[in-house]
Amino acid sequence: MKSEELGGPSRAARSHSWSIVLPKPAQRAPTLCPEAMNASELMFFFGAPLAHVVDYEEHERAVRQEKASRVLARSRRTLDLAAPA
C-alpha cells in the first residue's frame, strides 16, 4: 500500500464537508458547592452509582410528609361562629 492511499480525505471531499461551530460560554460554570447539595446530588457529582435511589427516597419522603399534613389539616376542628339568636 502506498502512503498516498492512506492519506487524509481528498481535496474534493474536504470542499464538501461541513462542521458545526459551537459558541464558547461567556462565563465559567459555577463550581460545585457540596454544602448546598442534597444527598442524591452529592452522590451523582462525586461518583456514587446509586444516586437515583436516594433521589427517589427523598421524593417519596416529601410525598408522605405532604400527605400527612393534608390529613392533619382535614382532621382539625373548624371554628364555628356562634349562630345569631
pLDDT in tens, 48-85: 777 778 788 889 999 999 999 998 888 876 666 655 65
Among residues of the chain, what percentage have pLDDT more than 70? 67
Q: Residue 22 corresponds to which cell in the numbers above? A: 459551537
CA distance 74 to 54: 31
HEC per residue, 4-56: CCCCCCCHHHHHHCCCCCCCCCCCCCCCCCHHHCCHHHHHHHCCCCCHHHHHH
Query: What average pLDDT does the segment 7-19 reach?
Result: 63
Q: Is the pLDDT of residue 18 over 80?
A: no
